[in-house]
Structure 1
Amino acid sequence: MTDNTMLMAGRTVLITGGTGGIGRATAEGLARLGARVAITGRDLARAQAVAAQIAAAAGNPAVDAYAGDLSSQAEVRRLAGEVLAAYPRVDVLVNNVGGYWAHRHVTADGLERTFALNHLAPFLLTNLLLGRLIASAPARVVTVSSGAQAMGRIDFDDLQGQRRYSGQRAYNQSKLANVMFTYELARRLAGVGVTATVLHPGVVRTAFGAEDQSAFFSLMSTVVRPFMKTPAQGAETPIHLASSPEVEGVTGQYYADRRPRRSGKTSYDTTVAARLWQVSAELTGLAHDTDAAGKEHLAS
């Protein structure tokens, strides 16, 4: 690697959902900039194989793999423990993992999978790693949302889609939750040297939603696929937010195409954001944590 590719030298980055699509492309991009990169995937063997491929492509051997189904809170907690044990500093956390399900699925914790994986997983992981992020300041938390956030609504009366479930409505809600979580996190972290930004990567050509697609989703994917961004193009904004000196100190902002944008009107409601944070803390057990990591998070 030449000197101009060493922007992230000495920095450690954790990327969830890094075995494919935007996550993998983000991992490769940051590895090319000299970062030590850790990726997560549900299957360890696959994650290790992808990590080796990223290392070879980037010319950077410092790419590590971790396993975990992050829809399970026990798995999120185990991952956080492994990361804290492995890395004396965590400079950037990229909350990328996510999914879309046309039908309602329930996690090991009894929660609706879209909300659990897309929102509660990054909420819990970020809180568990906050102490290390603060100690590593200046540090960054970058969360991948979607333009669908503009159509979302936080339905506190039916967060888990028990009364009525729509894959699109659940997805929109979870992506709005990503934005509101980021804004609330930025408010709570003011002055500690850790920034929080959130982004829309664009409509990217990946296997997203393939596990449980509706017929309409499948048809639309086929029709619009030629016009979608490549994973590398989708990764440009998360790479920018994770590494660029231009956004040093920028926090509580929503980005698309590497530029700050306005998110949906609802996302700026601080009362709803505070309530969402408290409900999320209850659902993840953070409101009652008394362990060492728990003392460092911002659940209360």
Structure 2
Amino acid sequence: MTEIRQKTVLITGASSGMGKAAAAMLADKGFRVILLCKNKERGEKAQAELKQKNQRRELELALCDLGSMKDIRRFTDEWNKRGEVLDVLINNAGVISLNRRETEDGLEEQFGVNHIGHFLLTLRLLDTMKRGSRIVVVASGAHRIGKIHFSNFNLTYGFHVIKAYSQSKLANVLFTRELARRLKNQGITVNCCHPGAVATSMGIDRESGFGKSITSLLKPFFLTPEEGAQTTVFLATSPAVQKVTGKYYYKEAKEKTSRLAKSKSLAEKLFVLSENITDERLINHLPIEQ
């Protein structure tokens, strides 16, 4: 009798909010969940809390800073050496910064983490994906007001938090569409979603605490992290979307995107820019055949 292999899902930004909620929901569905976190202390705390609520949950903590291409390469090298199949990748982590900040590589933080960090992580993890694997990108309705500022993507001039965040979220949708197109023959699906307005700590400055009081006041009007994670989990698990790829979802249903998000030429241009920034090529990371 053939033993059924337990499926593995990796979630970025899994120490809090929607990432943590999705981890709980997927672990309860029988997935082995890799919590990919930047901060060891917060990651261990989240892992312990999730385990405390259900001891049967299979949870593994892994550390990676999505604002560091060097660290992403370190983590993916370690993961790929294990030779394990990755069934689902959920690109959930996200940052919002009121002031212009840069990643270790000198990229504007929101573009650098929300898009470029996930772009590099995804390409390098493709080495251990197979036909039937799924990639889920947590985007945002903010993509509708976004533009890709190709001549100023680092926003070294004219920075504004909304301009930066919406650019990174439009990049998420364009990346989803272009990667789905390029992986179509590999049998790997790539979809993205808008989780809705969710009460998380993403907009709170961890050092100063700025934004905490505003978030507390608005919390009754927001979705819970569990409600926000539902569409992510749907895209990661539902048989209904097993062969659907390159789409944008909201409340477990296909949703229209902005006009710019539909642009094939824009998606291809961004993909090439991202390959050049990371010095990584998709052709070098085509999935294993199984």
Question: TM-score normalized by structure 2?
Answer: 0.92
User: Residue 78 of structure 1 corresponds to which residue in structure 2?
Assistant: 74
| Match status 1:295 vs 2:284 | yes
User: Residue 230 of structure 1 corresponds to which residue in structure 2?
Assistant: 224
| Match status 1:278 vs 2:267 | no
- Pick from 28, 35, 43: which aligns with 2:31? 35
Q: Give the gaps of 5 or more residues in structure 2.
A: none
User: Residue 138 of structure 1 corresponds to which residue in structure 2?
Assistant: 132
Say which is worse superposed, 82-91 or 198-207, in terms of deviation.
82-91
User: Residue 118 of structure 1 corresponds to which residue in structure 2?
Assistant: 114
Task: State the alpha-carbon separation in 2 of the partners of residues 55 and 186 from structure 1.
Answer: 34
AA matched with 1:106: E
Q: Is the 8 A contact 1:52 1:63 kept in 2?
A: no
| Match status 1:240 vs 2:229 | no
Call closer, same or farther: CA 1:62–1:185 in 2, change over 3 Å. same
Q: Is the 8 A contact 2:80 2:127 kept in 1?
A: no
Task: State the alpha-carbon separation in 1 of the partners of residues 173 and 81 from structure 2.
Answer: 29
| 1:122-178 CA distance string (max 9 Å, x none) | 111110011211xx3211000001110111001111100002100111000000000
In the TM superposition, residue 49 of structure 1 has moved relative to its aligned partner by: 3.0
| 1:54-102 CA distance string (max 9 Å, x none) | 2332443421001122111111112212222345110000000111001
Q: Give the gaps of 5 or more residues in structure 1.
A: 1-7, 288-292
Task: State the alpha-carbon separation in 2 of the partners of residues 23 and 243 from structure 1.
Answer: 15
Task: State the alpha-carbon separation in 2 of the partners of residues 283 and 171 from structure 1.
Answer: 19
| 1:184-217 CA distance string (max 9 Å, x none) | 0010011211000000001101111111799997
Call closer, same or farther: CA 1:218–1:169 in 2, change over 3 Å. farther
Task: State the alpha-carbon separation in 2 of the partners of residues 220 and 153 from structure 1.
Answer: 27
Task: State the alpha-carbon separation in 2 of the partners of residues 86 and 225 from structure 1.
Answer: 41
User: Residue 157 of structure 2 corresponds to which residue in structure 1?
Assistant: 163
Say which is worse superposed, 252-261 or 56-65, in terms of deviation.
56-65
Q: Is the 8 A contact 1:100 1:212 kept in 2?
A: no
| Match status 1:211 vs 2:205 | yes
- Pick from 121, 127, 140: which aligns with 2:123? 127
Sequence identity percentage? 36
What is the SS of the residue equivalent to 1:142?
Answer: strand
Call closer, same or farther: CA 1:220–1:276 in 2, change over 3 Å. same
Task: State the alpha-carbon separation in 2 of the partners of residues 213 and 221 from structure 1.
Answer: 16
AA matched with 1:82: E
Q: Is the 8 A contact 1:103 1:212 kept in 2?
A: no
Aligned residues: 284
AA matched with 1:69: D
AA matched with 1:167: V
Task: State the alpha-carbon separation in 1 of the partners of residues 15 and 212 from structure 2.
Answer: 22
Q: Is the 8 A contact 2:204 2:210 kept in 1?
A: no
User: Residue 264 of structure 1 corresponds to which residue in structure 2?
Assistant: 258
AA matched with 1:296: H
Q: Is the 8 A contact 2:72 2:117 kept in 1?
A: yes
Task: State the alpha-carbon separation in 1 of the partners of residues 50 and 209 from structure 2.
Answer: 34
Task: State the alpha-carbon separation in 1 of the partners of residues 81 and 172 from structure 2.
Answer: 27
AA matched with 1:144: V
Task: State the alpha-carbon separation in 2 of the partners of residues 231 and 155 from structure 1.
Answer: 31
Task: State the alpha-carbon separation in 2 of the partners of residues 83 and 60 from structure 1.
Answer: 24
AA matched with 2:176: T
- Pick from 2, 12, 21: which aligns with 1:16? 12
